Structure formats: structure tokens, C-alpha cells
Amino acid sequence: MFIATTSAPVNIACIKYWGKRDTKLILPTNSSLSVTLDQDHLRSTTTSRADASFTKDRLWLNGVEEDIKPGGRMATCIAEMKRLRKELVENVDTSAPTLSTLFVHIASYNNFPTAAGLASSASGFAALTASLAALYALPSPPTELSLIARQGSGSACRSLMGGFVAWNAGTLDSGVDSHAVQIAAETHWPDIHALICVVSDTKKGTSSTSGMQRTVETSPLLQHRIKHVVPQRMKTISEAILAKDFDRFAEITMADSNQFHAVCLDTSPPIFYMNDVSRAIIAVIEEYNRVALLPENGGKRKAAYTYDAGPNAVIYAPAAHIKEIISLIAHFFPQQETFKDPFGLFGPNGIGTGSFAAGFNVNVAKTWETGAVKSLIHTKVGDGPRVLGQA
């Protein structure tokens, strides 16, 4: 029996991937860029076993066995990893055990509810790829492994690295140039924290996979975005990250989230991922930044919201502002679950009611229905996959 266990992080994009030019190989219509979140808080953990007694490849997700559809995404990833084992290990060292010929049993767990509306497929496929790479003792660097995780779920390729990660769309039909690269490690800018506002934990109506295909087929705005918007934003946000310029990072992140949702609205029939609570959170953060941008307050943005294919907000902010932002969100949006304060920002009395900077318009959120937020999760930028055990 050969066995390896790894964990892999969640990533949340600042420049969104939305649209495929090849649906089988999962090649995107534009490059994207994300922040890897700390797996001390949110992670998928995957154990892979290879044994001569196994009679087929099998998969368990959170303890429940799932079918591995022949020719499907999971089957493709497993087959690609076996191919690498053969090519890079067994053909080089002919005395190495021929693990590529054995069936595998794979068990994966998320430490967050799959239904929390967080991208569990990204951390899941990254953990699967990393765990098979450890099982097979592959010499492959993360960029090479990202080519395989990408074929499980596009956004998964960015979870193979920590810090700030770009997925270069590439131009080749084979997809060999469509991989992830690290723009900066988590140690470069550890000050970036994230607050996830879980607005709803029900499964989304339109999946990313089918939604983005409908957008490719029907949205003229997507074509404009691909050609005239994303290339410049990729460049500018990478520069902002290297310069640790949060104001610029925030401006681009929010603009790109808004354009992604505009592209969804430009799809026929339109796709709506945000709800009134999501929009009210936007209004609150925009007002928070409007006040922060006043010259007497420093003239720089202090927070950036972004939304994936669902209503939940992710707010990026420098560590120094997170306590204030949590209080602000808690003031407008009562939470259904007690805030777990992982960084110990608040005392035993909890978040409290918060206070506002001079000039903050407290009526700002009234434009929208400000319902409750289910829960708030505080985390920060983190590292790439970790090998937890190998035998």
C-alpha cells in the first residue's frame, strides 16, 4: 500500500475567469488572478492510496462515495497523473514501483461546508492533484501540476500556489501554455486579510460551468472585456501587488468583480448571482472607501469587495483595517452564527456595535434590503498545498 495526504487552499479571484475557449481541456478566454487564502482556516484535505488489491479507481467526498465518470473531469485528472508517473518516474528509473498501473482510492474532505458557497472545487482538485503528485513522487513543479488541476476545474489551477497567483490564458490549442504562475508569495504581502461574508449557503442556481458557456455564446460585453479590459488589468494589478499598493489593488479588484457581474447580466437569458444583501455590502464598502479617500483621512481605499458566482462577499483589506470592517458589517448585517474570532481582535463581549468615521453616511445601506448575514469568516493570504503524510 502506497499512501499520501495533502491539503490545499481556497483561492478567490481579483481578476475573474469567466469563459472557455476549449471546454474539454478547460482553456479560458481570458487570464485571471487570485489570492490564495490561508488553509489554516479553509482547506480541502485529500488522501490517495494505491494498492495491488484495488479493483477500480474510487472516490469519496466528505465520506460519501461518488462515481468517477469515464472521460469526466475526475477521470481525466487521475489518468493525467498516472501518465506523469509513468513518463517522469517509471521510464527514468526502471526499478521504481509501477504505481501507474495500480488503481487508486481517493478520499477528500473540506473543513468548510461544501454548501457555504465557497469554491470547494478549486481547493478539491488542487488537493487531489497535489496528493497524487506526492503519492507518485513526481518531480513536477506547481506550474506543471497546475496544467492538470486546470482540467478538473479551471480555478483549481490557481490553488497550487500560495500568495498571489495568475492563470495565464495561453494561446496554444494543446493548452500547454495555460497554467498558473506565482506573482508573489504570501510572505511578500502577508498583511492582506480577507473577510468572507456568507450571505447564503444554498447551492447556486446557475453553475459556473454552464453559466460561463452561456456568456461566451451570447454576451457582446464579454468580447470587449477579453480584448480591451483584462490584459491591462492583469498588468496593473500585478504591479500593484509587487508594490504592495492596496489602493490600486482594491480599485481593480472591485471594478473587475462588477464587470464580471455585468457580463452575467449581459448574458441571454441573464444570470443573477448577487442579491440585495450582496448589493448592500457593496454600498457599505463603497461608502467606507469614499470617506477613506478624503484627503484628511489619507486619500486611500481601505477595503475591496469581490463576488464569485454567488451572493457571498469576500472583502480584502490590510490587517490594520479588518477590525473596523468587521464592526461595520456587523452593524448593518446581524449575523446568524457567532463570529469565531481567529485572530483575537475582539474581547469576550464580541464584535459590539461599531463606530463610524466622521462623515460616514449611515443611511447608505438603506437603498437595499439589508437582511442578515449567515456568518463571517476572517482569514488572510496563505501558502500553497502542503504534504501532510507520505508512506
| Residue ranges binding ligand DP6 (CB under 6 A) | 13, 16-18, 26, 32, 119, 121, 153-155, 208-209, 308-309
Chain residue at closest Cβ approach to ligand DP6: 154
Closest CA to 379 of 11, 121, 122, 8: 11
Question: Would you say 11 and 119 are in contact if contact means Cβ atoms under 8 Å apart?
Answer: yes
C-alpha 166, offset from chain centre: 12
How far apart are CB 208 and ligand DP6 at their closest, in Å? 4
Question: Would you say 200 and 117 are in contact if contact means Cβ atoms under 8 Å apart?
Answer: yes
| Cα–Cα separations (whole angstroms), residue 142 to 148, 180, 385 | 10, 8, 9
Q: Which is nearer to ligand DP6, 24 or 83 (CB)?
A: 24
Q: Where are the alpha helices (DSSP H) in 293-348?
A: 319-332
How far apart are CB 239 and ligand DP6 at their closest, in Å? 20
Give 201's contacts (C-beta < 8 A, 6+ positions apart).
Answer: 113, 115, 116, 117, 374
Measured between alpha carbons, how far is 332 from 311 in angstroms, rounded to an integer? 16
How far apart are CB 279 and ligand DP6 at their closest, in Å? 17
Burial class of 339 by CB neighbour count within 10 A (0 to 12, 13 to 18, 19+): middle
Q: Which is nearer to ligand DP6, 17 or 246 (CB)?
A: 17
Q: Which is nearer to ligand DP6, 134 or 384 (CB)?
A: 384
Measured between alpha carbons, how far is 160 from 149 in angstroms, rounded to an integer? 8
Closest CA to 125 of 59, 205, 67, 221: 59
How far apart are CB 212 and ligand DP6 at their closest, in Å? 6
How far apart are CB 3 and ligand DP6 at their closest, in Å? 28
Work out the end-to-end distance of the chain between its first and last CA atoms, rounded to an integer number of angstroms.
8
Show the cell assigned to 182: 506565482
Q: Which is nearer to ligand DP6, 16 or 302 (CB)?
A: 16
Amino acid identity of 193? H
Q: Which is nearer to ligand DP6, 249 or 332 (CB)?
A: 249
Q: Which is nearer to ligand DP6, 28 or 288 (CB)?
A: 28
How far apart are CB 28 and ligand DP6 at their closest, in Å? 8
Q: Which is nearer to ligand DP6, 186 or 308 (CB)?
A: 308
How far apart are CB 305 and ligand DP6 at their closest, in Å? 14
